[in-house]
Structure 1
Amino acid sequence: MAEALIELKGVSKAFGKNVVLDAVDLTIYRGEALAIIGPSGTGKSTILRIIAGLTAPDSGEIYVQGQQRRGLIEDAQDPIGIGMVFQQAALFDSLTVDQNIGFLLYEHSRLSRRRIRELVVKRLEMVGLADVSDRYPSELSGGMRKRVSFARAIMSNPDNPRDTPEVLLYDEPTAGLDPVASTVIEDLVRQLQCVEGGCGTYVMVTHQQSTIHRTADRVVFLYQGKVQWEDSVQAIDTTDNPLIRQFFSGNVNGPLQVTG
């Protein structure tokens, strides 16, 4: 049976009177590719930030490799590394690609600049961008910036193996990309799951059907603060669940409430 790396038990989160997560239970297993889907505004990005330790839940428990997390990631280190790829890449515009990817090592390690640069180049090669280390984010296309953010997320510190991410969290990695660029990113997500130095377990938030079908093994459907459905990605095409049928057909008529 697959090992449970991250467990959310009864996790709730509200912003003012808006309850976005309502006693959610979720388990992420080692080696799986999990997609969290659902209408806009249903807490998908919030649940990623909670998993990453960037946002605290109002109630509920979070376990990372069996160890309960108390507080945020800045309060105590998790037993495994968790990396996050933000929707808009979130690169520092004033820093070069090399400085962006190696930022934490430049700031918080004792490695030499030459060694860090070697590690940066290796990660860039893994995402197919070996020759852009001296460029600035403004000099890159949207797809290239996404790939740079992937390289940063899988950056590791050889002096501290606990910093190496074992789980990657992707927040809408193909949003705003054309179909060809989206395919490149989807292929890269799968590639990084398999290669040495990549990350074998990931959670993806996405709306795009091609991304769901090409990058996920298991799918969780989040709506009205709760997990309403979960199954394999293949079950999307055969399920009779009315929420799933409406979501993937784009029909405005059905149990999903249209908010905009």
Structure 2
Amino acid sequence: MKTSSTTMAVDGLLAVGGILSLALGVSGLILVKNQKLEVIWNKRFAAQLLCWIFICKGVANSLRSIGYETEFWRVVLYGGHFNDQIFGGLILLIALIFPVPILRTRKQFNIGVAVVLAYILLTIGAAVFIKVNTPLAAFTGLYLIPGFIWTLVYLKFRFMKGQEDNEEIQGVADVAVLLLVLMIGHILFRWVGMFAGSDYFYFMDLYGGNFANDYLWSQGLASAVIFGLVILCGEIYQASQGRVRTTSYVV
């Protein structure tokens, strides 16, 4: 009974989170479309991609909140999975252009889009024609790349000598922290059982017990913890030097 009630509570959390994410993404797209100010290309694309990742995660969480004990379980399974893969690809694209553009020209960005699109199509094809729990269908280690990029951006700009009071420089570090929190934060909707000590979490068979996927998923979580600890230590040091920023409280 405890497990059932806890699962229902988590499903409710997924539904609320999904609806809020979807609404935020759609409203964000409307605001970006109606933007009248001249904005540099990478910031404009990053804003659009950010809205779409909220939409993707909103759809995925809303579908999963229905549960798999339904005649439409295939829609729940594949719909959630496909949106997760698109979410991961868009996160990677954002990391490559914002807040510091690694892809510095539109041509390079178009190549990046083509590569990420090919990856998404590969994962979707593998899920449909092989199995959802095959490693090709979900490379969770993809989170390592944007996490690594944003952590390096944070370290470079937060600890840039002589620029400790430069709001523009420190603002770049703040954005990197917030994007990293965004990438990791969506996991909490699914992993709340870990903090609640719920039975269902400890007996949950991730991706059908596939070792490769279990390993990759654990790897993604472990890397998220490492990135978070690096930033936490950095903010503690900055606070000890009397340089506390708003993002310090977020961390």
- The TM-score with structure 1 as length reference comes to 0.26
| Structure with the higher helix share, 1 or 2 | 2
- The TM-score with structure 2 as length reference comes to 0.27
| Structure with the higher strand share, 1 or 2 | 1
